């Protein structure tokens, strides 16, 4: 189990805060839900007395408190300056989402978390702010703003992941890059972004659960942890292959559908930047994948240990969801 049973109450209030924020009829109620969500996540960070966890919790609290202060301040301005109030709410939500150019805190906080907290911060903690962001798409100015910030997130997420060896930071910049695709989907006024979010959450869950079982945090740790088993090596290749934007697995299909939507709406310039950033991420993901492909050769592996397939089945089952995308073309052929 990822969290002790005594922390179930914090997980419950974490989800309750998101539900309150989403279903609230007023911005004040949304602020209350975001505050409950934030205060429930901090105890989940500091599960152990560790200086890294404490530092990550403090950084997260300060940034989220700044975003909440900006959020509630904009509520007072709504009575006199409605348009300025919406812009401030928009910026506060971007800060909570760690969207560029307010992404500076996200890799630093992720570096001090364990893998279950990494999953929660990248998925559950972003659900409520993203839904609130979709409520702000009321005029062309807000739509143009979210498109502009999505382009920035795509570029920052792609360039920031270059030459990184720390797995949590790679996931952090990958999350920023994926955020750009979801923000573009929000700007189209469609609920399609939620499908993208669900698929991304399943993929990230399979990745973080495998890394949590192995307790690896860098590429060097990853290469030293049973990398001499051909099944483990294949599993790592599959995991990193999932982060590549051009592959036949299920992460491709929401991107493919979103590209078609953007072409129909004549959003060619944002589409260019998103595809260009995807090519950059393709480079540094393949750089990692090629390393493990080379290690599949027993001659390249100097510490030979052979394990049965049965001992590796639990880890392979955690990534089995990611192979479902191979069956989707069959569905399209049957239509």
pLDDT in tens, 245-274: 545 455 667 788 888 889 999 999 999 999
**Whether pTM exceeds 0.85:** yes
Provide the Cα torsion 189, 192, 196, 198; round to 10°.
110
Neighbours of 265 (CB within 10 A): 14
* Integer Rg of the chain from CA: 21
pLDDT at 95: 95
Residues, the chain: 335
Taking a C-beta distance cutoff of 8 angstroms, is the pair 227, 292 a contact? Answer: yes
pLDDT at 163: 81
Please return the burial class of 207, using the count of CB atoms within 10 Å of its CB with bins 0-12, 13-18 and 19+. Answer: buried
DSSP 115-170: HHHHHHHHTHHHHHHHHHHHHT--SHHHHHHHHHHHHHHHHHHHHHTTT--BHHHH
Bigger pLDDT: 312 or 105? 105
What are the pLDDT digits (tens) for 69-87?
999 988 778 777 888 899 9
pLDDT at 39: 93
For residue 1, pLDDT beyond 80: no
Taking a C-beta distance cutoff of 8 angstroms, is the pair 321, 198 a contact? Answer: no
pLDDT at 77: 82
pLDDT at 315: 57
The set of residues, in sequence order, having a beta carbon less than 8 Å from that of 251 and lying 6+ positions away, is: 199, 200, 203, 242, 245, 325
| Rounded-to-integer distance, Cα 284 and Cα 164, Å | 9
Place of tokens 């539900």: 19
pLDDT at 323: 56
| Rounded-to-integer distance, Cα 228 and Cα 314, Å | 17
Band (pLDDT 50/70/90 cuts) for residue 232 is: low
pLDDT at 330: 46
Taking a C-beta distance cutoff of 8 angstroms, is the pair 12, 28 a contact? Answer: no
For residue 187, pLDDT beyond 80: yes
pLDDT at 331: 41
Q: How many domains does the chain have?
A: 1
Neighbours of 212 (CB within 10 A): 16
Taking a C-beta distance cutoff of 8 angstroms, is the pair 202, 321 a contact? Answer: yes
Bigger pLDDT: 55 or 335? 55
Band (pLDDT 50/70/90 cuts) for residue 225 is: low
The percent of residues in the chain predicted with pLDDT above 70, rounded, is 78
- Domain of residue 294, residue span: 5-334
Q: What is the 8-class DSSP label of residue 228? A: T
Q: Which helix (H) or strand (E) holds 9?
A: helix 8-23
| Helix %, strand %, coil % of the chain (to 5) | 80, 0, 20
Taking a C-beta distance cutoff of 8 angstroms, is the pair 244, 277 a contact? Answer: no
pLDDT at 290: 76
What are the pLDDT digits (tens) for 300-322?
555 545 455 455 556 555 555 55
SS (H, E, C) 243-261: CCCCCCCCCHHHHHHHHHH
What are the pLDDT digits (tens) for 199-209?
888 888 888 88
Rounded to an integer, the average pLDDT of 210-217 is 84
| Rounded-to-integer distance, Cα 132 and Cα 23, Å | 10
Rounded to an integer, the average pLDDT of 65-69 is 94
Please return the burial class of 22, using the count of CB atoms within 10 Å of its CB with bins 0-12, 13-18 and 19+. Answer: middle
Across 45-59, 94-108, 156-170, the highest mean pLDDT is recorded for 94-108
For residue 123, pLDDT beyond 90: yes
Rounded to an integer, the average pLDDT of 23-42 is 93
Band (pLDDT 50/70/90 cuts) for residue 334 is: very low
Rounded to an integer, the average pLDDT of 181-209 is 86
């Amino acid at each position: 189990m990822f969290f002790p049973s005594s922390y179930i109450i914090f997980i419950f209030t974490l989800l309750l805060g998101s539900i309150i924020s989403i279903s609230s009829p007023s911005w004040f109620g949304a602020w209350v839900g975001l505050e409950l969500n934030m205060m429930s996540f901090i105890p989940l960070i500091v599960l152990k007395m560790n200086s890294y966890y404490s530092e990550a919790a403090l950084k997260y609290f300060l940034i989220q408190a700044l975003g909440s202060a900006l959020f509630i301040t904009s509520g007072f301005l709504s009575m006199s300056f409605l348009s300025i109030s919406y812009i401030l709410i928009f910026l506060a939500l971007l800060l909570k989402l760690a969207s560029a150019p307010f992404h500076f805190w996200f890799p630093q906080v992720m570096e001090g978390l364990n893998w279950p907290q990494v999953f929660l911060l990248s998925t559950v903690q972003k659900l409520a702010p993203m839904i609130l962001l979709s409520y702000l798409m009321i005029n062309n100015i807000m739509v143009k703003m979210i498109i502009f910030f999505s382009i920035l997130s795509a570029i920052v997420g792609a360039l920031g992941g270059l030459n990184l060896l720390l797995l949590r930071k790679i996931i952090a910049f990958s999350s920023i890059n994926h955020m750009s695709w979801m923000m573009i989907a929000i700007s189209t006024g469609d609920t399609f972004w939620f499908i993208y979010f669900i698929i991304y959450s399943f993929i990230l869950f399979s990745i973080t659960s495998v890394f949590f079982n192995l307790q690896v945090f860098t590429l060097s740790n990853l290469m030293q942890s049973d990398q001499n088993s051909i099944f483990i090596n294949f599993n790592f290749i599959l995991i990193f292959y999932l982060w590549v934007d051009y592959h036949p697995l299920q992460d491709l299909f929401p991107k493919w559908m979103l590209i078609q939507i953007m072409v129909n709406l004549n959003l060619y310039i944002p589409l260019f930047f998103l595809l260009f950033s995807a090519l950059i991420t393709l480079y540094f993901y393949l750089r990692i994948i090629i390393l493990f492909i080379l290690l599949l050769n027993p001659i390249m592996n100097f510490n030979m240990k052979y394990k049965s397939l049965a001992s590796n089945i639990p880890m392979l089952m955690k990534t089995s969801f990611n192979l479902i995308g191979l069956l989707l073309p069959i569905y399209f052929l049957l239509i």
